[in-house]
Amino acid sequence: MTDVALIEDADDDRVADWLGDRLGSALAAEDGTVAVTVPGGSTPFPILERLAARGLDWSRVCVWPGDDRIVAEDHPASNTGRIRAALEPLGARIVPLAEGAQPPRFAIAWLGMGADGHIASLFPNTDPRADDPVPVRRLTPDPLPPEAPFDRVTLTIPALLASDEIMFVIRGAEKRAVFEAAMRGAHDLPVARLLSAARQPVTCFA
């Protein structure tokens, strides 16, 4: 497992500054498109709003949701729809997830984490593997979260590990305790499986 840089008390501006610096460096190092994956939920969007003001060349940024609920893009539960609304007006290209898709290598894989240790839509019941042979899977969380009772499509652990670096944004003491236990190898939840297989830099804002 790689070392994890844990940055405490990071507000949205600090996360946006870090992400803007990393994306700017990735764009400077490449002539073409830079790919990133972004989580859903409520946490990313205030950060993306601040990131939008940093003057990046969004026309060269390709954004993949890390996971999505299988609903229409105009449904309130659609991660793709919310990401598209936030970043497509800036010029970014948004790629909806679908079974059979072949994601690129990501400059940054940005993840959240649930209190049950799930990442993307890799819930504990789905038994995600670091050697999964496919990069995108359709699956059904069990139990289905009551706030979003939908089947999911998600990047798998190998697709998330196909990245130059990984970042987490974790909010709340309960989630932080789960994440820190994963860093210590104290459980086998999906986040721990990802961290144990990671060899690139991992940064967690908590």
Note down the domain range covering 185.
Answer: 4-205
pLDDT of residue 176: 94
pLDDT of residue 78: 95
Query: What are 42-74's pLDDT values in tens digits?
Result: 899 999 999 998 889 999 999 999 999 999 999
Average pLDDT, the chain: 94
pLDDT of residue 143: 83
Cβ-proximal residues to 187 (8 Å cutoff; 6+ apart), any chain: 117, 178, 181
pLDDT of residue 7: 94
Query: What are 143-152's pLDDT values in tens digits?
Result: 888 888 999 9
Query: What are 75-110's pLDDT values in tens digits?
Result: 999 999 999 999 999 999 999 999 999 999 999 999
Number of folded domains that form the chain: 1
3-class SS letters over the chain: CCCEEEECCCCHHHHHHHHHHHHHHHHHHCCCCEEEEECCCCCHHHHHHHHHHHCCCHHHEEEEECEEECCCCCCCCCHHHHHHHHHHHHCCEECCCCCCCCCCCEEEEEECCCCCCCECCECHHHCCCCCCCCCEEEECCCCCCCCCCCCEEEECHHHHHCEEEEEEECCCHHHHHHHHHHHCCCCCCHHHHHHHHCCCCEEEEC
Residue 114 reports pLDDT greater than 80: yes
- pLDDT category of residue 141 using cuts at 50, 70 and 90: confident
Between residues 37 and 55, the one the model is more confident about: 37
Q: What Rg, from alpha-carbon coordinates, does the chain have?
A: 16
**Triad 59, 158, 141: Cα angle to 5°:** 95
pTM for the whole thing? 0.94
108: domain CATH number is 3.40.50.1360
Quote the CA–CA distance of 100 and 185 in Å, as a whole number: 32
- pLDDT category of residue 3 using cuts at 50, 70 and 90: confident
Task: Determine the average pLDDT of the residues in 196-201.
Answer: 96
